């Protein structure tokens, strides 16, 4: 790999070592494919206390590197592991005070709610630049994910004046979710970093706060987000989360690359967590999974009953209200609904109330449970994803991979990845609706249930098309490689 492009992929999460949401799936799956394409890509992440070192053995490779923070000198150690079953090196930065305690994020919604979390990721960002000289490895591209490392391009620009070896490093900033911005009071951030407004011009854009995702957007050499449609949507006030102006200024360097999924991990023909493996050749085995999940959830076991599933973080993004409003329609049609997720209290309550109202037809499981999730993907007929906005979305891709037809709103990555059912030629792999209203969503639920009940042949045709859908990382990885090449040209 002597002449290959060197990339350091900086992330707060990585599946399976420390997983919260979709970011972890991307971090665990994209670097290995880029590595196969010949990129010398390595990952850097915090060494959280929750990492299970029996499962993921980590070796200490450097100790006592100084990081100046909050008017003090903190020490970090660097550990090394690999993304399981791959050759991709992961560097874990260890510092008990800032990185070692608690889980990945401090709140179960994964949205910032305390200065402790802001400190954690500012510290992580600051700790990345001093590691290169210890490693004797300088990346060509620093690929930064989300607000957690949004300050990194700016810190790099500043540090280049002191460490000339850093001058050649270019930055790519990937926005996985513009809604989660990492914003905090300016004076607290500046004091912690030991900086003032004058050090970095972009820090002066807001009078009161520093918005870390905005910093990434303003300072990175190139920016991308995780679908083509979302890359356009975020230029509008409806989806721009207040940053549409900053994004518009950088429109020429803003790209959209649609995520894939790890097709080895999400594979109905080998998945160890589901009751019966299946593929195009033995689709009938999908029914074994359906009956299994019906039984687990205490619902009537009957393969003819349409079974709708939803697996999600319970946040304002995900359209939980629409799902609640559709329950009556589903119940009236004799269908069943299984919900799995955790998050905001009001939505957890909404889900529990649905189950209380329709105990025969609705099962709400308030938890994060990766094994149960696989069983729901495999056993459901329909997967619901009526998001208000969706940068890419992984649930719809996993669902299709398991022959479960998604009902999605035409936004972001949902729009880019789910071809709508066309009743004329019976093509498509799911059902798509436009407006974010209960009426519009319920209409699409009825449309799906109608095909399910009255046109089983064409339903099966859709299931086959979903199973055949290519959601691999191959295309996306090539597009990332093109961006890396553009950066170092």
Q: Which residues bind ligand GLC (CB under 6 A)?
A: 21-23, 26, 176-177, 226, 259, 390-394, 413
Taking alpha carbons only, the member of 40, 236, 205, 215 closest to residue 139 is: 40
CB of 399 to ligand GLC, least distance (A): 13
CB of 373 to ligand GLC, least distance (A): 15
125 HSE (CA, 13 A, CB side): 28
Nearer to ligand GLC, 66 or 238 (CB): 238
CB of 154 to ligand GLC, least distance (A): 23
Nearer to ligand GLC, 179 or 195 (CB): 179
CB of 394 to ligand GLC, least distance (A): 5
Nearer to ligand GLC, 226 or 445 (CB): 226
Nearer to ligand GLC, 413 or 428 (CB): 413
DSSP string covering 259-321: ----TTTS-TTT-TTSSS---GGGGGGHHHHHHHHHHHTT----TTS-EEEEE--BSGGG-HH
CB of 397 to ligand GLC, least distance (A): 9
Cα diameter, the chain: 70
Residues 6+ apart with CB under 8 A from 429: 400, 405, 406, 418, 419, 462, 465, 466, 469
Q: Which residue is nearest to ligand GLC (CB)?
A: 22
Distance of CA 190 to CAs 97, 161, 199, 453, 466, Å?
19, 19, 10, 60, 50
Nearer to ligand GLC, 354 or 385 (CB): 385
Nearer to ligand GLC, 17 or 23 (CB): 23
Nearer to ligand GLC, 69 or 476 (CB): 476
Question: Distance between CA 417 and CA 419 in Å, rounded?
Answer: 7
CB of 471 to ligand GLC, least distance (A): 12
The radius of gyration of the chain's CA atoms, rounded to the nearest angstrom, is: 23
CB of 180 to ligand GLC, least distance (A): 8
What angle in degrees, to the nearest 10, is found between the helix axes of 152-160 and 212-219? 50
**Are 363 and 337 in contact, with CB atoms under 8 Å apart?**
yes
Chain centre to alpha carbon of residue 54:
26
What angle in degrees, to the nearest 10, is found between the helix axes of 152-160 and 115-128? 40
């Amino acid at each position: 790999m002597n002449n290959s492009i060197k990339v350091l992929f900086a992330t707060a999460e990585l599946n399976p070592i420390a997983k919260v949401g979709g970011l972890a799936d991307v971090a665990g799956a994209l670097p290995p494919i880029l590595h196969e394409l010949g990129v010398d890509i390595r990952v850097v992440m915090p060494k959280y206390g929750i990492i299970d070192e029996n499962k993921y053995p980590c070796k200490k490779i450097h100790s006592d590197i100084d990081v100046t923070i909050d008017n003090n000198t903190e020490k970090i150690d660097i550990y090394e592991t690999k993304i399981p079953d791959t050759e991709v090196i992961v560097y874990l930065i260890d510092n008990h005070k800032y990185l070692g305690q608690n889980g990945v994020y401090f709140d179960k919604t994964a949205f910032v709610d305390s200065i402790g979390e802001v400190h954690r990721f500012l510290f992580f960002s600051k700790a990345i630049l001093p590691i290169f000289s210890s490693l004797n490895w300088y990346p060509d591209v620093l690929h930064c994910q989300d607000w957690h490392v949004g300050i990194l391009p700016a810190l790099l620009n500043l540090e280049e004046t002191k460490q000339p070896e850093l001058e050649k490093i270019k930055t790519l900033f990937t926005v996985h979710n513009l809604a989660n911005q990492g914003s905090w009071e300016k004076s607290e951030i500046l004091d912690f970093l030991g900086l003032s407004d004058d050090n970095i011009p972009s820090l002066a854009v807001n009078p009161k706060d520093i918005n870390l995702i905005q910093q990434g957007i303003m300072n990175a050499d190139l920016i991308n987000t995780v679908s083509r449609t979302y890359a356009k949507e975020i230029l509008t006030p409806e989806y721009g989360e207040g940053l549409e102006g900053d994004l518009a200024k950088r429109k020429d360097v803003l790209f959209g690359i649609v995520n894939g999924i790890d097709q080895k991990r999400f594979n109905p023909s080998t998945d160890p967590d589901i009751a019966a493996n299946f593929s195009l050749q033995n689709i009938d085995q999908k029914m074994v999974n359906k009956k299994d999940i019906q039984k687990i959830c205490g619902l009537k076991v009957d393969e003819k009953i349409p079974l709708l599933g939803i697996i999600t973080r319970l946040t304002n993004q995900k359209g939980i209200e629409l799902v609640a409003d559709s329950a009556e329609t589903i119940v009236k049609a004799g269908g069943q609904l299984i919900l799995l997720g955790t998050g905001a209290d009001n939505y957890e309550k909404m889900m529990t109330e649905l189950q209380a109202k329709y105990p025969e037809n609705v099962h709400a499981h308030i938890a994060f449970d990766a094994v149960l999730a696989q069983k729901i993907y495999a056993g459901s007929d329909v997967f619901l994803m009526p998001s208000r906005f969706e940068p890419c979305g992984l649930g719809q891709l996993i669902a299709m991979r398991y022959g479960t037809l998604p009902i999605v709103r035409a936004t972001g990555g949902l729009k880019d990845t789910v071809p709508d059912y066309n009743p004329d030629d019976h093509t498509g792999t799911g059902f798509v609706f436009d407006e974010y209203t209960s009426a519009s969503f319920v209409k699409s639920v009825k449309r799906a249930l109608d095909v399910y009940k009255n046109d089983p042949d064409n339903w099966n045709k859709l299931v086959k098309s979903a199973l055949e859908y290519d959601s691999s990382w191959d295309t996306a990885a090539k597009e990332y490689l093109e961006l890396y090449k553009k950066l170092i040209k």
